[in-house]
Amino acid sequence: MTNQNELLTRYPGDIAGKTGYTDLARKTYVGAAQRGNRRLIVVQMYGTGDLYGQAIELFDYGFSH
């Protein structure tokens, strides 16, 4: 079994994630991560570039604020 969710290995605390694509929303990503008792969800639409890298930045921002 393989999984293409790079955050499972790149981001400590990653719980799950799903990529997608539609003509309207373009590249999309939905993911969740947890640190301690805090759980965050990231939703990206109209994606360009490295969605996983952008998700990491969003999670880091969320956990630090």
Tokens (6 digits) for 34 = 């947890």
Query: pTM (2 decimals)?
Result: 0.87
Cα of 36 vs its chain's centroid, Å: 18
The string of pLDDT tens digits covering residues 36-61 is 999 999 999 998 889 999 999 999 99
The string of pLDDT tens digits covering residues 21-37 is 999 999 999 999 999 99
Classify residue 6 by its DSSP letter.
T
CA–CA gap between residue 24 and residue 28 (Å, rounded): 10
CA–CA gap between residue 1 and residue 58 (Å, rounded): 28
Classify residue 36 by its DSSP letter.
T
